[in-house]
Amino acid sequence: MTGAAGFIGSHLCERLLADGHEVVGIDSFSDYYERERKEQNLRAARAQRKFTLEVVDLVDADLARILDGATVVFHLAGQPGVRPSWGGHFDRYVHDNIVATQRLLESLRESQLQKLVFASSSSVYGDAEMFPTKESALPRPVSPYGMTKLAAEHLTFVYMRNFGIPATSLRYFTVYGPRQRPDMAFCRFMEALVDNEEIEIFGDGEQTREFTYVSDAVDGTVKAASADVVGQIINLGGGSRVTVNRVLDTLEDISRIKVRRLHLPAAPGDPRHTGASINLARERLGWEPRVSLREGLTRQWEWFQEARGSVARATSV
Ligand code: UGA
């Protein structure tokens, strides 16, 4: 699994280990956010005998050695984040999302792989014309990040068409839950809430997202590894579209802390709405999202307080 120390990757590692699989995690521990958080993400997996970790950059790693004998490859590594992908940062997105994917695919040309599952993104749709958005909609990203994820999706097709690599792409819709990346909305909201700071909202807060709880995303990913879906692109969305304002109302209710809102200009690169048609995932993967926004947000809030508490305890010792 590439991107094993990340938010979704670390949960997927634990799930695969719990299912009895041997897992080789690959991660470069890039500096998008602090290494310590990623080490923490991997703590439970690393305690398991069937887990090994390779700290390498996919672009120049000896992938033939690392992937020797692998039956399934989950490709979750990448430079994430919609809003920071402008300017000089773009080079990193090209390196981590396009070049790294191409190197991985090259290394799999001669392999006997059963499945490559690629973690794509709802960001490939941009400002979709129809909601819920089907996989057949014309993808037209509105951020440099989304454009690189779409390029990586196309690369998996190129290698499937020419070398028979059995690839499936999953378009995750704004995943949240424990270990969420610190730059993502819910983590930032919770951070501001406990620090009694204003919560920064990009735009009027009436933009919608199809938020997806991490265990649902992981479950769909595991199902995609064994289902007969080679060549398919499949949405994984949480089941409902919610405004950012509504999320904040729910968070206020759960935390019992008054939310102070600060509206900033809408961020370049953010689509106004995302919303997934999940019929294909239902039909082809037998998948259904199970965790409601309220339940998932409650779990993330509990995790967040616990994680903050342990940092505070560590620094006060
Ligand atoms: C997220 C991930 O960050 C991407 O890596 C991923 O590809 C994408 O989901 C996807 O797969 O769908 P995003 O939807 O921007 O991107 O996720 P959040 O950071 O959780 O933002 C959600 C909404 O909250 C956006 O409309 C954003 O503008 C807003 N937001 C975010 C704020 O109003 N304030 C903040 O401080 C952060």
Pocket residues: Cβ below 6 A from ligand 1: 80-82, 121-123, 172-174, 184-185, 188, 200-202, 207, 209, 244, 267, 270, 274
Residue 38 clears pLDDT 70, i.e. is over it? yes
* Secondary structure class of 261 (helix, strand, coil): strand
82-102 average pLDDT score: 98
Cα→Cα distances 266→6, 193, 272, Å: 27, 21, 9
126-144 average pLDDT score: 98
110-138 average pLDDT score: 97
Task: Give yes or no: 145 in active site.
Answer: yes
Residue 13 Cα to ligand 1 midpoint, Å, equals 24
Q: Which atom of ligand 1 is nearest to the CA of 189?
A: 36
Residue 92 domain flag:
yes
The tally of domains found in the chain comes to: 1
What residues are paired with 140 via a beta bridge? 126
Q: Which atom of ligand 1 is nearest to the CA of 244?
A: 24
Q: How many CB atoms lie within 10 A of CB 86?
A: 14
Q: What is the DSSP string of 73-111?
A: EEE--S---STT-SGGGHHHHIIIIIIHHHHHHHHTTT-
Query: From the candidates 32, 93, 125, 145, which is the catalytic residue?
Result: 145
**pLDDT category of residue 273 using cuts at 50, 70 and 90:** very high
pLDDT (tens digit per residue) in 104-119 = 999 999 999 999 999 9
252 exposure class (CB count in 10 Å sphere: 0-12, 13-18, 19+): middle
Q: Are 224 and 161 in contact (CB under 8 A)?
A: no
5-21 average pLDDT score: 98
Q: Say whether pTM exceeds 0.75.
A: yes
Find the CATH number of the domain harbouring 104: 3.40.50.720
Residue 1 domain flag:
no
* Secondary structure class of 145 (helix, strand, coil): helix
Residue 2 domain flag:
no
Beta strand pairing call for 242-243 and 208-209 = antiparallel
User: Considering only CA atoms, which residue is closest to atom 13 of ligand 1?
Assistant: 174
**pLDDT category of residue 311 using cuts at 50, 70 and 90:** low
DSSP 265: P
Number of helical (H) and strand (E) elements in the chain, helices listed first: 11, 12
Residue 316 clears pLDDT 60, i.e. is over it? no
274-303 average pLDDT score: 98
Residue 286 Cα to ligand 1 midpoint, Å, equals 27
pLDDT (tens digit per residue) in 278-289 = 999 999 999 999
Mean pLDDT of the chain: 97
Residue 317 clears pLDDT 60, i.e. is over it? no
Q: Which domain holds residue 93?
A: 7-316
Spell out the residues 6+ positions from residue 263 whose beta carbon is closer than 8 angstroms to its own. Answer: 201, 203, 204, 205
Query: Side chain identity at 138, as an amino acid letter?
Result: L
126-139 average pLDDT score: 98
What residues are paired with 116 via a beta bridge? 73, 167
**pLDDT category of residue 252 using cuts at 50, 70 and 90:** very high
